[in-house]
Amino acid sequence: MTISEVISKIENRIPLQQAEDFDNVGLLCGVPSRNVSGILVCHDALENVVEEAIQKNCNLIVCFHPIIFSGLKSLTGKNYVERAVLKAIENKIAIYAIHTAFDNDLFGVNHGICSHLGLKDLKILQPKKNNLKQLTVFVPKEHSDKLKEVLFSAGAGNIGFYDECSFTLNGNGTFRPVEGSNPFSGQQNIRENADEDMISVIFEGYKQNAIISAMKTAHPYEEVAHQIYQLDNENQHSGLGMYGELQEEMDEKDFLRLVQEKFGLEVIKHSDFTRKKIRRVGVLGGSGASGIKSALSKKCDAYLTGDIKYHDYFMAESKMLICDIGHYESEQFVTQQLFEILSQKFSTFAISKSIEKTNPVNYFI
């Protein structure tokens, strides 16, 4: 199996189109047509991880954080990024990054955090906006079912845990073929009345090209009457962060002890105690100060994330306990999650988890 074939299967499960616009995800270096000898899953594709891949005969590294984030103007090995990339290229190792595509995934980074905390009734903290579109297309009634099947196969009609969702109305359509036309039915310069169905489906915006192409290929008409609308609806199944409920409410200090235990922490930075019970908890893996307002609006009692700055703590307003457990610490389950996903999809070559330490932050206790 080639690198491009492996990537296709990964992206079928975790679409890169879910990633944030600022991110640099996908194949960062390597030859897509090269056969895969083994996969190494890691958090950061640093130089020591590339060396580990060499030792384990893995020529594809699937990492969470992209080692190349901003543009490279040279490759001379003058910093940790260039050294890692050079080592990979020299040893014919490809590097593929998933990052915010997995952050925004319904069963991604934040689902892993919630699972370790034992939260239930999970919902997306910051649902994706401007992500959904609606297609309305008119088709002869006798071709309606076939066209719906084609649209569904192209990815239209998926709403959360439901697929093949559509709405159909029947009516009378008119058209008049003019000179130069090659009509499916009717004659030139004579108005035609047709028994037509109006099919309506919702889809995620990144699927538009594939859906429209499939529609036009399967549609019997020479000119396909259709409209596409941008929806204001938020995508409730994709976005940053999550929130859910503890099985039982607990005191703030007991909650912090629970977090320490589940995440293996020696220290937690937090805002002032609110003297309220903790029941609803919001989480956002990585740098999550941007989610504080969302967590407050969702009436979370506690918010778990990393990289909180001094002034961010004031935003708690004594209404919510803000907990900074560290950037890496909040994402520490990602490697295992990706390893499990890839192990289910590929059985013809070795998949390994990196054992190298890549967290640059250390604590003196």
Find out whether 327 is annotated in a ligand binding site.
yes
**Pair of tokens at residue 86:** 């050079």
Give every CB contact of residue 55 below 8 A, 6+ residues apart in sequence: none
Sign (positive or negative) of CA dihedral 162, 106, 239, 40? negative
- Which of 299, 289, 336, 360 shows the shortest CA–CA distance to 113? 336
Rg (CA), the chain: 25
Do residues 351 and 38 touch, judged by C-beta distance below 8 A? yes
Find out whether 219 is annotated in a ligand binding site.
no
Find out whether 65 is annotated in a ligand binding site.
yes
- Which of 101, 57, 30, 66 shows the shortest CA–CA distance to 341? 101
**Pair of tokens at residue 76:** 């001379």
CB-based burial, 339-352: b 16+ in 10 Å, e otherwise: bebbeeebeebebb
The H or E element that residue 218 is part of is: helix 208-218
Kindly write down the DSSP assignment for every residue of 220-272, as one continuous string: SSSS--EEEEE----EEEEEEEEEEEEEEEE-HHHHHHHHHHHHT-S--EE--
Find out whether 103 is annotated in a ligand binding site.
yes
Burial class (CB in 10 A: 0-12, 13-18, 19+), 99: buried
- Which of 122, 252, 9 shows the shortest CA–CA distance to 260? 252
Do residues 63 and 96 touch, judged by C-beta distance below 8 A? yes
Between CA 257 and CA 234 the distance in angstroms is 35
What residues are designated binding site for a divalent metal cation? 65, 103, 327, 331
What residues are designated binding site? 65, 103, 327, 331
